[in-house]
Structure 1
């Protein structure tokens, strides 16, 4: 006859492990940091340059304080050294800079962005980093759509920075919002620039799709966010973002093919095949650029980009080794930049090409250092994506869709850098620092001292977070 006991041998039931409040607040702060980087010039358009500068400096100081308080495990010998060397060279340019005030101001922005990238990468695990990026992108997309809807429904005229309605027509380049939501014009979101909104919307599509494939919770809602991002991507109508989207598709297909390789030498054939296709595609794109850009509604000179490139290169070759001095972006109030190159009557703030801009500011040495930083990023993120996770004798662990993200973002940054200088600051620079740093610190998602230590501190060991 069975006998019931009041002292069972099994573990008594317990409430599920919950994240500590402190870690939730820390992750919330990281989301704000990422939102600030992804929202571009939104803060300047909303509250002005001085309050934005104060907020940026204060956020850097707070992140530094939190970093010392949390003290996450960091292998200091495994920093992204080429990126750090570029930052150091930019700092040294203060010695010979022809616009020292602009150099000092933009160096502060570069330093804070680099600090924030290292901070986020060190205090969050891989899955938390991707989840935080996803949350920040949702805020950017939602606020952009609500902002454009508010302008169209209540303001009903184009809006200038500072929430100033404009009834008299001015050059559209000055508008924060052009009130185009209900017509066929381009929309600009909270950034006030369609060429900034387009790549961010593309980034959102990539991040949301990767999380969807990884089995993140609330996938129906995540699918809705993909639709919102796709709509904003389409309405931004950025030619650069369209080309970047094509590059993302090509890189994704290549990675998935590489993951299917089973025999030695099989990847070599794939590499050769895609190299031939890539070179042929690039040649065809260059030869047919007039027809392609006409189909995209753009001129063959990328809407005046060639004129800007020519003017910058003419000045850059005068000091080809060390450059004229760091300033990213160009500070238009400085006499050296004020009225130098005009676009629609306004002073241009960038060279609209990463490599030309760096050559102008930091010379050939700066180009080499940045090229090495990009090469290291692409190299590490590529094998992070195509190699099966392995740190012991088990060679059959499944691939994670999340490991695709760094290399796909690298494709966006490389293509965007051909027509914009924005990858040199804000979210472009933050990701260029954060992802190589994170890969070097934690080469396998969910494994390693940094990943496990953070999991322990938040109250769990190996609980999966999507």
Structure 2
């Protein structure tokens, strides 16, 4: 006869595993940092330079404190050393800079951006980084649409920074929003610049598509976010961003093709073929740039950029080895930049080419360092994307869609850097550092001390790396 027992053989039921509140708050903080980086100039336009500076510096201090308290697993010998070298050389330029105030201010921004990027990469796993970046981009896309809709419907006229309006005749370049959402013109989003909105929208499409490939929840909503980002990308009307999108598509197709190769030798023919296509395409584009940019609604000289490049090269040639001193972006209230190069009545804040910008500021030495930084990043991110994940004898592990993100970002930044200096600051620099750091710290998604995802998501301490 069965006997009731107070001591059952099975284990008592337990609550399902949940993330600790502390880790949820940490991930929310990282999402805010990424949002602040991606939204960029929106903070200055909305709240002014003082408030934006206070928020930026305070965020940097808080992240440093959290890094010291949390002590995440970091292999300090595996830092992105070319990034460190570029940062050190930019800092060293304080000794000879011709614009000490501009150098000090922009160096602080560079240091904060670099530290924030490494902080996010050290406390979040690959999946969490992608998830937080997607959340930040959703906020930027949504706020850009809401802002443009508010200006067009409620205000009904262009808006200046600080939510102000004016009856005076001013150049459209100074407006935060030109109220173009409903009349078919180019929109600028919360960043206040179409050439800043378009590449961010392209980045959003990439990240949302990767989340979709990861089979993230709310797939229908993700498709909606991709559609919104594509709409903003189209309405921004940036010729440079269109070329970036073509480059990203080509790189994506190449990576997927390389993944089908049965061995390293089978990839050789693909490399040769794409090298020929790449070089031929670049030469053709340069020779036919006038017709191409005319078709895209732009001037043959890249809307005046060739004139800017000529002036930058002329000044850079005076200090070709060490440069004039770091200043990214150019601080236009400094006498060295004020009224030096003027476009639409406003002093220009960049060289509109990241390589020329670095050459002007940090000379040939700085140019070599930034080239090595990008070469190292492109090299690592490329094989991170095309090589099947392997750390033992097993050679059939599936590819992760996340592995595509760094190499697609690299393609976007390289093409954008031809006509813009944006890759040297804000989200361009932050994501370059973040992924360069993350690839070296966690070369295998989900494996290694920095990828103990279950422990990290529970908020448990991880074993410190040697």
TM-score of the pair, normalised by structure 2: 0.97
Alignment of 1:237-256 (within 5 A): 237-256=237-256
Q: Is the 8 A contact 1:378 1:407 kept in 2?
A: yes
Q: Distance in 2 between matches of 1:447 and 1:34?
A: 24
Partner of 2:364: 364
Partner of 2:172: 172
Q: Distance in 2 between matches of 1:461 and 1:210?
A: 29
* CA offset digits 1:169-202 (Å, max 9, x no partner): 3111000000000011100000000000000000
Q: CA deviation at 1:168?
A: 3.4
Partner of 2:424: 424
Q: CA deviation at 1:87?
A: 0.5
Alignment of 1:149-228 (within 5 A): 149-228=149-228
SS of 1:265's partner is: helix
Q: Distance in 1 between matches of 2:431 and 2:101?
A: 27
Q: CA deviation at 1:461?
A: 11
* CA offset digits 1:206-257 (Å, max 9, x no partner): 0000110111111110000000000000000111110000000000000001
* CA offset digits 1:321-372 (Å, max 9, x no partner): 0000000000001001100000001100000000000000000000000000
Partner of 2:45: 45
Q: Distance in 2 between matches of 1:187 and 1:3?
A: 76
Q: Is the 8 A contact 1:382 1:407 kept in 2?
A: yes
> What do you get for the CA RMSD once the two structures are aligned?
1.6
Q: Distance in 2 between matches of 1:125 and 1:204?
A: 19
Q: CA deviation at 1:50?
A: 1.2
Q: CA deviation at 1:286?
A: 1.1
Partner of 2:376: 376
Q: Is the 8 A contact 2:125 2:453 kept in 1?
A: no
Q: Distance in 1 between matches of 2:239 and 2:24?
A: 39
Partner of 2:113: 113
Q: Is the 8 A contact 1:18 1:459 kept in 2?
A: no
Q: Distance in 2 between matches of 1:447 and 1:168?
A: 60
Q: CA deviation at 1:266?
A: 0.6
* Range with bigger deviation, 389-398 or 160-169: 160-169
Partner of 1:69: 69
* CA offset digits 1:418-464 (Å, max 9, x no partner): 000011000001011110100100000010011117734625899xx
Q: Distance in 2 between matches of 1:457 and 1:282?
A: 45
Alignment of 1:29-44 (within 5 A): 29-44=29-44
Q: Is the 8 A contact 1:73 1:453 kept in 2?
A: no
- Show structure 1 runs of 5+ residues with no match: none
Q: Is the 8 A contact 2:351 2:421 kept in 1?
A: yes
Q: Is the 8 A contact 2:22 2:459 kept in 1?
A: no
- Distance 1:457-1:217 versus aligned 2 partners, 3 A rule: closer
SS of 2:187's partner is: coil
The answer as to 2:249 corresponding to 1:276 is no
Partner of 1:329: 329
Q: Is the 8 A contact 1:125 1:454 kept in 2?
A: no
* CA offset digits 1:347-402 (Å, max 9, x no partner): 00000000000000000000000000001111111111111011111111000111
Q: Is the 8 A contact 1:47 1:162 kept in 2?
A: yes
- Distance 1:5-1:288 versus aligned 2 partners, 3 A rule: farther
SS of 2:257's partner is: helix
Q: Distance in 1 between matches of 2:288 and 2:10?
A: 71
Q: CA deviation at 1:407?
A: 0.4
Partner of 2:349: 349
Q: CA deviation at 1:5?
A: 7.0
Partner of 1:144: 144
Q: Distance in 2 between matches of 1:461 and 1:71?
A: 9
The answer as to 2:66 corresponding to 1:58 is no
Q: CA deviation at 1:9?
A: 4.0
SS of 1:159's partner is: coil
The answer as to 2:85 corresponding to 1:85 is yes
* CA offset digits 1:287-310 (Å, max 9, x no partner): 211111111100011100001000
The answer as to 2:449 corresponding to 1:449 is yes
- Distance 1:152-1:461 versus aligned 2 partners, 3 A rule: same
Q: CA deviation at 1:2?
A: 9.0
Partner of 1:262: 262
Q: Is the 8 A contact 2:60 2:112 kept in 1?
A: yes
